[in-house]
Amino acid sequence: MSVSRREFFRKSLAATGVGAGVVAATATKGTAAEQFAGYPDRYGVLVDLTLCTGCRTCEAACYAENHDKDSNRAVNNEYKGNLPKPEVPFDDVTVTHQRRRTSPGAYTVVNRYEGKGAVVQKEGIFKKLQCFHCNEPACASACLVGALRKTKEGAVVYDVDTCIGCRYCMTACPFYIPTYEYEKAFTPRVMKCTFCYHRLAEGRAPACVASCPFGVMTFGKRSELLEAAKERIARHPDRYVHHVYGEEEVGGTSWLYLSPVPFEEVGFQTNLPTVPLGEFTHTALSVVPMVVLLWPTLLGGLYALNRRRDDIAEQEKDTAVDAAVTDAVAQADAKAETKLAGALKKAEKDKEKAVKEAREEASKTTASEEESK
């Protein structure tokens, strides 16, 4: 799909005519983080960028956890992924110098940023990227068939059997996370980090979190992680930017970040609203299910309209035929009458002629008899 996200939201708002209303509502609502009351015990992960060394162990652990074909339907039809072998072996850390994104072959990537202003990490800042597992995910709101959903554990999971491949989720995601298996002719899937839902459902930390040798990621209840993050900032005010990324962005996310440099310097989007983008996509796309629901009625209406048009045409045809027949009969009658009149006239003339001839013959006979006397 070539529609940019900006264009998508612009068109969505324009389509529903709520653009100005949404902006006004945003200003008076306060933060969405305060509004989201669902799943208070949901899990989260706190990622501390001051600790990451870019070793890619977490990438390797993600692959190890999610490449198994047999475990493709791990929990409640949510698949692990059947991830392909990596193009670059996980012990080659030079790839972290590229600006990699998540892909159909990688739920998570670690990239290096300069981070010149950092108190620590003179050699650069490494950022692990994966799905943020938003509190109120735009991807799920944009999905017409409910193939993506937020679970009570905090994971945003995907059901491949429900997905129709429209890829609206990719357009809606503000973090550019979901990818698509374009190269697969049959049963292509939307691919994104599952938060290791099969582990999460058992209260276990995701594989990448558990694997990190440097304790970069902390797994726990999101509410507690938020407190821990703020305490860490308070204890080391010179080490961290005084903001927890994901606390409020797009209504809050399950994955939270601490950074030693302004977040835009390590590739985070810092211009996102604090309300869930789902409010926009849902509002815009809510008309679509309505169309889907109304479709049978619309089809029925079209059928009835066509039927009525056909009936009228049929009636008009019958009327025209009747008129033509009546006309033809009338014409035939008129012709017949004319013919009859002609025939009668002719018969009269013939009769007069015959009478005249008979009279003439009779007078000739009488004259001849008189002569012979």
Binding stretches for ligand SF4 (CB under 6 A): 52-58, 61-62, 65-66, 107-108, 110, 126, 128, 130-134, 137-139, 156, 173, 175, 177-178, 192-196, 206-208, 212, 214, 216
Nearer to ligand SF4, 107 or 268 (CB): 107
Give yes or no for a contact between 110 and 235, defined as CB atoms under 8 angstroms apart: no
> What is d(CA 256, CA 220) in angstroms, rounded to the nearest whole number?
11
C-alpha 352: how far from chain center: 97
Number of other CB atoms surrounding residue 15 within 10 Å: 14
In contact, 78 and 196? CB cutoff 8 Å: no
Nearer to ligand SF4, 175 or 180 (CB): 175
Question: What is the closest distance, in whole angstroms, from the C-beta atom of residue 186 to ligand SF4 in the complex?
Answer: 24
Q: Dig out the tokens for 319 from the structure.
A: 């009327």
Nearer to ligand SF4, 123 or 322 (CB): 123
Nearer to ligand SF4, 137 or 273 (CB): 137
Q: Which residue, 63 or 302, has its beta carbon nearer to ligand SF4?
A: 63
Residue 82, burial from CB neighbour count under 10 angstroms (0-12, 13-18, 19+): middle
Which contacts of 224-233 are long-range, i.e. CB under 8 A and separated by 24 or more positions? 225/44, 225/45, 225/46, 225/256, 226/44, 226/256, 228/46, 229/46, 229/256, 229/258, 232/48, 232/258, 233/258
CB of 136 to ligand SF4, least distance (A): 9
Q: How far is the CB of 118 from ligand SF4 (least distance, A)?
A: 15
- For residue 57, the tally of other CB atoms under 10 A from its CB is 18
Instruction: Between 22 and 200, name the residue whose CB sits nearer to ligand SF4.
Output: 200
Nearer to ligand SF4, 108 or 283 (CB): 108
CB of 141 to ligand SF4, least distance (A): 9
- The answer to whether 112 and 125 are in contact (CB under 8 A) is yes
Burial class for 239, CB neighbours closer than 10 Å (0-12, 13-18, 19+): middle
Residue at 344: amino acid letter: L
Nearest distance, CB of residue 224 and ligand SF4, angstroms = 18
Question: Among all chains, which residue has been given the structure tokens 């939270």?
Answer: 256
Q: At what angle do helices 287-372 and 278-285 cross, to 10 degrees?
A: 10
Q: Which is nearer to ligand SF4, 13 or 61 (CB)?
A: 61
Nearest CA to 288 out of 138, 139, 143, 140 is that of 143
Q: Label residue 64 exposed, middle or buried (CB < 10 Å: 0-12, 13-18, 19+).
A: middle
Which C-beta is closer to ligand SF4: that of 178 or that of 260? Answer: 178
Q: Which parts of the chain fold into alpha helices (H)? A: 5-16, 19-29, 32-35, 57-66, 138-142, 168-172, 197-200, 207-211, 222-235, 278-285, 287-372
Identify the three-state secondary structure at position 51.
Answer: coil
Q: How far is the CB of 278 from ligand SF4 (least distance, A)?
A: 8
Q: Measured between alpha carbons, how far is 96 from 100 in angstroms, rounded to an integer?
A: 8
| Distance in Å, CB of 112 to ligand SF4, minimum | 10
For residues 173 and 226, which CB has a smaller minimum distance to ligand SF4 in the complex? 173
